[in-house]
Amino acid sequence: MRSFFEGWRRVRSAPALLLGVYAVTVVVALPLAISMRGLLQTHLGQSLAAESAAEGVNYDWWQEFSSQATGIGTTFTPTIIGFAATLDTISGVLDGQREVAPIAGTLALYLAAWTFLSGGVIDRYARQRPLGAASFFAASGVHFFRLLRLALVAGAVYWWLFAYVHRWLFREWFVEQTRTMSEEREVFLWRVALYLAFGLMLVVVNVIVDYAKIRVVVEDRRSALSALSAGMRFVWRRAGRVAGLYALNGAVFLILIAVWAFIDPRARGGDLALLVTFLAAQCYLLARLALKLQFLASQTALFQSSLAHAGYVAAPAAVWPESPSAELVRTSAR
Amino acid sequence: MTAVFAVAAIAAQGQGGLDHQGVSNRLRQGYGGPPKRSAKAEDPPLRNAGVQRFDTPEPGARSPRNANYDIDVRLDQSARTLSGRETIRWRNISAKPTSELQFHLYWNAWRNAESTWLRERKISRNYTAPRPDGWGAMDVSAVRLREPSGATRDLTSHITFIAPDDGNPEDRSVMAVPLGRSVDPNGTIDVEVVWTAKIPRPVARTGYIEDYYFIAQWFPKLGVLEDSGWNTHQFHAPTEFYADFGVYDVRITVPTPFIVGATGRQTARTANSDGTTTHRYQEQDIHDFAWTASPDYIDLTRTFTHATLPPVEMRLLLQPEHRGQEDRYFSATEAELKRYGEWFAAYPYGHATVVDPAFQSQADGMEYPTFFTGRARLFPSRSRQTPEMTVAHETGHQWWYGMVASNEFEHAWMDEGINTYATARVVDEAFPDNRWELRYFGGLVPWSFPDISYTRLDNDRMAGYRDNAEADIPSTPTFRYWPSTAAIMSYNKTALWLHTLERHLGWPVMQRILSTFFDRWKFRHPQPGDFFQIVNEVSGQDLTWFFDQVYRSSNTFDYGVQELLSDRRDDGTYRTVVIARRYGEATFPVDVVTTFDDGHRVMEKWNGLDRRAIYVYERTSRASHVRIDPQRVLLLDTAYTNNSRTLAPRSGDASLRWAAPWMVWLQDLMVTYAFFL
């Protein structure tokens, strides 16, 4: 619990980090959004269909656009409206059916950016004091390739989980177990159980990877594999505290999702309504990012409180300036 | 979140477990009580007046009643088989004699992997090879002809299997039985057939799952003898069925705890000493018979009443986990009974049974005479597509298929297309709050989109048509359609051209066309030409050109504005040039309406035949915009966006409006994936 609140304190103490990662989200998404706008504008051309599309949903036009869309245009579906976007993404991940090929490049760029920034973020939370942009990016640079190697290993594990474990669980075992069930209730409960089981696997990998990242940065480890091993040891030896912290953060995630589902902004209204909807969505994304930072910050706090790296977080030793008066003071002190 | 909170509630509602054969423990322990039925639980046998029992058709019979079935069938629950015996009284109503009978043995389509049905499925989408329990079969052990003297002649050894469509020697869905003598026109014979059938796990519309059974196409059924010979197609993946009208008297023996629903009205129920009960169902002037049995049904009845239409007793067999959705089932059935009754003709049977099928039974959305299935989900849909649209559609099939009995092997559009078109109108009127919906998490959790209405055009299935407009020529016999797009031709394209015809002629004319078609062809087998002839007759126009475009061709329609120019001249006037273009190969007359800034509108009637039509206007006002087919009469136009052009486009506003939420979606997706790192 202490680490949970300590994490939020550290996140609040570094608002620039939150704004920074949010800015990255915007900067990475914006070019593709501009491209999408171009596609939509080209298809609408000088058609009067744009009149109704400009005021709300023109689903007839939307379907016509979808029937000829290629590339990123194929992702322009009603699931972009309101909470459906979140629901669609989470459902797609859990069902192993998220088709990301059209945006794979952008997604890879974003994940690479996150990997780069993670080093600086963890370093900042660990040091618990303002570092300045230069130090932040220096730390990010120092740890980037280590974290990248770690990310590649993690990526391989996730790929294996989705390509083999998920496939077996959901497309073979689940189908086999439920094919003779005549009640949807039973089938639903089985599916929920599988989501929980698979979700737990993802969480375990995620937790180990998070603590591995923390150990890379806090302990200045060079080897991704040794960091993973160290992360596993840390999680294993403090499973209860680690799980408890993750559960608390997870509960916040669920609450956030529930709130967003309740708000579920609509797709109609004038320009003001459109602006309010967009800003509300950006606030929701800010909250998601803050929560992501909270995961890192609270886990860093837990790690530091467990392994007492007090010296790491101490303020740097005072350095006398070079001047005759300072020299006089220094020599007098001896 | 709804789903999360629902998990506990759902888990709390337990059901009985299963034994090793999948038989419900509740079944073995004995059913908890008699089914909930109205006071008329055991109706008296139908009176002889108006009821034919292997006589020549009685006066007042609605149909020829030339294919009459008296059937006894027993369900073997543990072996998952049916044992049946039927006596068919058949009368040759064609103009030619015949010396053989041809039967459909539909379940042989799942006898092995080389049947025509499975071969065609393999080349279509979503094919999965049947599991060991997914195979079915129908084995005829005896065919006996009753001679006029009363003796019977055994024809069993003369049975052959034929494949009139593709010559597939492995296909056993059509059985031919030489009679050894001729049956002249209007001659009558009695034939006894004994068979067993292995019930499959649900493959297509029929089968069992746990102790739920939906049994369709389960008995050897005669083909249709036409003047040109037997019309007995093999069972194909994209087709349904075709048979003659008659009287059905069916006795179904099942374990006592089962609740049974079937075509027709139950006239008797007899408890047997072996723990089974025999349910007798009878109906006349029908051409098919299906039934269902399950110990779990909730049995509900309501009566449809109307000021001018006869009452209809509606029986609903509801799954327990869909309790609470019965009102939706009944309201959809009533909506269709009311409107089809007002538009076309009254429903004549007096009763209808609606089945809420079990999950994964593959029996949903299917029609049989006086008996049809809907579709409901554990988490109720907020959209009106299920159960309302499905139930309404299947109710509508009582007219288009049930009474106007077109050949579904050759002209599926005549029932599916007409019914899709008309039901879309019903749902649009009766359920205007129809909203779009998607299902997530394995298709189990619904999410509705209140800002997207499910319009009549959506229920005409425009989206599917647009992507497959050239898939086939609709006049091709249905069994020769490309399997994966056959439904698009039969349902979608037909509904759209019928709706186009409605917009072209007006609903009053269209309603008269359909009611005339129904009136002339009820309880008969119409051909496409019969429908087209009535369209021409009632409309007073020769619409052969229209049917040439939409029915006898796979050409697509696409009219668009190629150019709109409005240039100011030295004298202050404007010279406006409008170029309307026919991009598609199919033709249709369209209006071209140009609107000017001063509000003036000019409408041109273009016959749509040439590739271009150019209109030039010289006016004091600049043009504002031009629309081709502004009333959207031509619903088959695959690209309506290009039908208009404005000199003050708002595509920038529209694209910005929609690029913004798309960007939010992308950001959300990126943040979600960042969870993994």
Nearest-Cα distance to chain B for A14, in Å, is 19
Residue B59: the pLDDT is 72
Instruction: Give the residue from chain A lying closest to B669, CA to CA.
Output: A89
B282 DSSP β-pair partners: B249, B265
Per-residue confidence band for B25, with pLDDT thresholds at 50, 70 and 90: very low
Instruction: Give the residue from chain B lying closest to A78, CA to CA.
Output: B449
Confirm or reject contact between B674 and chain A (CB < 8 A).
yes
Give me the helices (H) in B74-222, please.
116-122
**Mean pLDDT, rounded, of chain A:** 90
Q: Is the Cβ pair B669, A103 closer than 8 Å?
A: yes
Confirm or reject contact between A182 and chain B (CB < 8 A).
yes
Chain A neighbors of B563, CB-CB under 8 A: none
- The residue assigned the tokens 């010396």 is B99
Residue A288: the pLDDT is 96
Confirm or reject contact between B135 and chain A (CB < 8 A).
no
Chain A neighbors of B629, CB-CB under 8 A: none
Tell me the CA distances in angstroms from A270 to A41, A52, A85, A266, A277, one per residue in order.
19, 12, 21, 11, 11
Q: Is the Cβ pair B436, A78 closer than 8 Å?
A: yes
User: From CA A15, how far away is CA A136, in angstroms rounded?
Assistant: 13
Give me the helices (H) in A14-131, please.
15-44, 49-55, 59-68, 84-94, 104-127
- Of A62-71, A165-174, B18-27, B382-391, the poorest mean pLDDT is in B18-27
User: From CA B407, how far away is CA B114, in angstroms rounded?
Assistant: 25
For A253-298, the pLDDT digits (tens) are 999 999 999 988 887 778 888 889 999 999 999 999 999 999 999 9
Tokens representing A306? 């467990």
Confirm or reject contact between A29 and chain B (CB < 8 A).
yes
Nearest-Cα distance to chain B for A133, in Å, is 23
Q: Is A306 left (phi over 0), alpha (psi -120 to 50) or beta?
A: alpha
Residue B307: the pLDDT is 97
For B103-145, the pLDDT digits (tens) are 999 999 999 999 999 999 888 766 777 888 889 999 999 999 9
Average pLDDT for B184-203: 94
Confirm or reject contact between A238 and chain B (CB < 8 A).
no
Number of residues that make up chain A: 334
Looking at per-residue pLDDT, the higher value among A155 and B2 belongs to A155
Q: Which of B645, B656, B666 sits opposite A37 (nearest CB)?
A: B656
Instruction: Judge if the upstream peptide bond of residue B387 is cis by omega within 30 degrees of 0.
Output: yes
Residue A130: the pLDDT is 85
Residue A320: the pLDDT is 64
With a pLDDT cut of 70, the percent of chain A lying above it is 94
Q: What angle do CA A292, A295, A296 make, to 5 degrees?
A: 95
- Listed by number, the residues of chain B in 410-469 with a beta carbon closer than 8 Å to a beta carbon of chain A are 436, 438, 440-442, 444-445, 447, 449-453, 455, 457-458, 462-463, 466-467
For B537-587, the pLDDT digits (tens) are 999 999 999 999 999 999 999 999 999 999 999 999 999 999 999 999 999
Chain A neighbors of B676, CB-CB under 8 A: 154-155, 158, 202, 206, 209
For B526-536, the pLDDT digits (tens) are 999 999 999 99
Chain A neighbors of B643, CB-CB under 8 A: 47
pLDDT at A316 over 80: no
pTM of the model: 0.89
Collapse the DSSP code of B43 into the 3-class scheme (helix H, G, I; strand E, B; otherwise coil) and give the result: coil
Amino acid at A201: M
pLDDT at B309 over 80: yes
pLDDT at B305 over 80: yes
Quick one: how far is CA B2 from the chain centroid?
33
Average pLDDT for B427-453: 92
- Listed by number, the residues of chain B in 293-332 with a beta carbon closer than 8 Å to a beta carbon of chain A are 319, 321
Residue A70: the pLDDT is 93
For A33-50, the pLDDT digits (tens) are 999 999 999 999 999 999
Q: Is the Cβ pair B359, A187 closer than 8 Å?
A: yes
Instruction: Give the residue from chain A lying closest to B468, CA to CA.
Output: A67
pLDDT at B207 over 60: yes
Residue A318: the pLDDT is 59
CB neighbours of B47 closer than 8 A, spacing ≥ 6? none
Q: Which of B210, B444, B666 sits opposite A33 (nearest CB)?
A: B666
Q: Which of A79, A114, A154 sits opposite B674 (nearest CB)?
A: A114
Q: Is the Cβ pair A78, B360 closer than 8 Å?
A: no
Interface test with A, best of B131, B669, B673 (most A CBs within 10 A): B669
Residue B612: the pLDDT is 97
Looking at per-residue pLDDT, the higher value among B50 and A83 belongs to A83
Chain B neighbors of A184, CB-CB under 8 A: 321, 359, 377-378, 444
- Listed by number, the residues of chain A in 120-179 with a beta carbon closer than 8 Å to a beta carbon of chain B are 151, 154-155, 158, 170, 178-179
Q: Report how many Cβ contacts below 8 Å link chain A to chain B.
A: 278
Q: Which of B466, B642, B662 sits opposite A36 (nearest CB)?
A: B662
Residue B136: the pLDDT is 94
**Mean pLDDT, rounded, of chain B:** 90
Residue B488: the pLDDT is 94
Residue B51: the pLDDT is 39
Chain B neighbors of A189, CB-CB under 8 A: 7, 10-11
Nearest-Cα distance to chain A for B477, in Å, is 27
Q: Is the Cβ pair A181, B210 closer than 8 Å?
A: yes
Residue B147: the pLDDT is 86
pLDDT at B9 over 80: no
Per-residue confidence band for B29, with pLDDT thresholds at 50, 70 and 90: very low
User: From CA B85, how far away is CA B193, in angstroms rounded?
Assistant: 6
Interface test with A, best of B634, B662, B672 (most A CBs within 10 A): B662
pLDDT at B23 over 90: no
pLDDT at B157 over 60: yes
b/e B224-234 (16+ beta carbons within 10 angstroms → b): bbeeeebbbbb
With a pLDDT cut of 90, the percent of chain A lying above it is 74
Nearest-Cα distance to chain B for A163, in Å, is 15
Q: Is the Cβ pair A107, B673 closer than 8 Å?
A: yes
Residue B128: the pLDDT is 77
b/e B8-42 (16+ beta carbons within 10 angstroms → b): eebeeeebeebeeebbbebbeeebeeebeeeeeee
Per-residue confidence band for A317, with pLDDT thresholds at 50, 70 and 90: low
Residue A308: the pLDDT is 57
Sign of CA dihedral A232, A234, A238, A244: negative
DSSP B291: E
Among B411, B414, B115, which Cα is nearest to B239's?
B411
Q: Is the Cβ pair B659, A36 closer than 8 Å?
A: yes
Q: Yes or no: say if B52 and B65 are a contact pair by the CB < 8 Å rule.
A: yes
Looking at per-residue pLDDT, the higher value among B628 and A3 belongs to B628
Residue B57: the pLDDT is 54
The dihedral over CA atoms of B588, B592, B593, B594, expressed in degrees to the nearest 10, equals: 160
Nearest-Cα distance to chain A for B357, in Å, is 9
Tokens representing A1? 């619990």
- Listed by number, the residues of chain A in 36-55 with a beta carbon closer than 8 Å to a beta carbon of chain B are 36-38, 40-41, 43-51, 53-54
pLDDT at B244 over 70: yes
